[in-house]
Amino acid sequence: MAAATAAQKPSPKDPLPRRRSVSQICPPPRRPMTLTEVYPGSENERLGVVRESMLQNHLINKPELGKPRRSCYTLPGFDFNYGLYLHGTDRGVPEAIGHWNTIKPRAPSAKERGRDYKTVNRKAIKEGYVTAHEQNLYRQLKDIRLSDNDERRFKRTPPKVPPDMTYGRPARPSTPFFDLLQHKYKEIWMEQQRAIIRAQKEEKKQKKRKGKVYETYTCLLRKFQPPMKMEPLWRMPHFQKVGPHLCTFPDLDAQKRALEVFRSEIPVRCGPLAMGLYTAG
């Protein structure tokens, strides 16, 4: 078994297999099939009446085994020129230099001119044709077209230009290199920006002056609100001289000392009325 495995491995002296190119792996499509290439038993064999167009239809043409697909399009012969061929009386460079081919403006024919609906409608109303059917018959009878001098249509004649007119773009003035070296354009731009900033500041000052309100004595009196005197809550007369029902303190001094201790312990007690447990320990 080991001898068979060793025999299958290629020796280091044997050359490596040559890699195939892309054109060999995916060759280009071939020319359309002809009747001479069809033989009995092939994939595209046809029975009965056979035409060349049957072999050039990619919908019914079957792929051949082990061969690339055909393009199914016939190419012209070797004497075919691709592109547009212009037939003219071109005589070379001398004619191009010494002669200028111009297209003469031709007068527009009657068919190219549009119908003058305004004139037709005006004449139809004058003659008494008001309904749509009558106006349609009148338009068929009176086919009035726009005139050459009418401004509602595009004129084909070239515009009138002076004889000494020069076509093209005018030449640009020379670049001032001294101004570029001196950074003159930068200084001009900086001055413009400073002027814009000064104008904005002046505008803000004007707005502040217009919107400022001086406080006078009358304005202060208008805004003044007299303080309200806090009056104690009203009590019934027969409850004003009634003393406390229960007093747990022996005297008034002991009550004051207990209240002072209670106020000092408020920060370390919990609860809504600061009467709960101590939070610091």
Model confidence at 1, pLDDT cuts 50, 70, 90, reads: very low
Mean pLDDT on 136-153: 76
pLDDT of residue 199: 94
Mean pLDDT on 142-166: 70
pLDDT of residue 175: 84
Residue 46 lies in a domain: yes
Is pLDDT of 26 > 70?
A: no
Is pLDDT of 140 > 60?
A: yes
Among residues 31, 46, 77, the one where a domain terminates is 77
Among residues 77, 108, 123, the one where a domain terminates is 77
Residue 261 lies in a domain: no
d(CA 281, CA 276): 14
Give the closest residue to 37 by CA, choosing from 3, 21, 61: 61
Residue 3 lies in a domain: no
Share of the chain above pLDDT 70, in %: 72
| Pair of tokens at residue 190 | 């900086």
Q: Given the structure tokens 């007068």, which residue do they identify?
A: 107
**pLDDT, tens digit (0-9, with 9 covering 90-100), for 242-255:** 777 788 888 889 99
d(CA 258, CA 251): 11
Residue 196 lies in a domain: yes
61 Cα distance to chain centroid = 47
Residue 224 amino acid letter: F
Instruction: Write the secondary structure of 28-96 as one string of H (helix), E (strand) and C (coil).
Output: CCECCCCHHHCCCCCCCCCCCCCCHHHHHCCCCCCCCCCCCCECCCCCCCCCCCCCCCCCCCCCCHHHH
Domain count, the chain: 2
pLDDT of residue 32: 81
pLDDT of residue 194: 93
Residue 36 lies in a domain: yes
pLDDT of residue 2: 46
Residue 97 lies in a domain: no
Enclosing domain of residue 192: 180-205
Q: Given the structure tokens 């939070």, which residue do they identify?
A: 279
Model confidence at 146, pLDDT cuts 50, 70, 90, reads: confident
Residue 9 lies in a domain: no
**pLDDT, tens digit (0-9, with 9 covering 90-100), for 204-221:** 888 877 666 677 888 888
Among residues 62, 77, 92, the one where a domain terminates is 77
Mean pLDDT on 67-82: 75
Within 8 A by CB and 6+ apart from 56, the residues are: 32, 33, 72, 73, 74
pLDDT of residue 50: 85
Residue 241 lies in a domain: no
pLDDT of residue 269: 77
**pLDDT, tens digit (0-9, with 9 covering 90-100), for 50-63:** 888 888 888 888 88
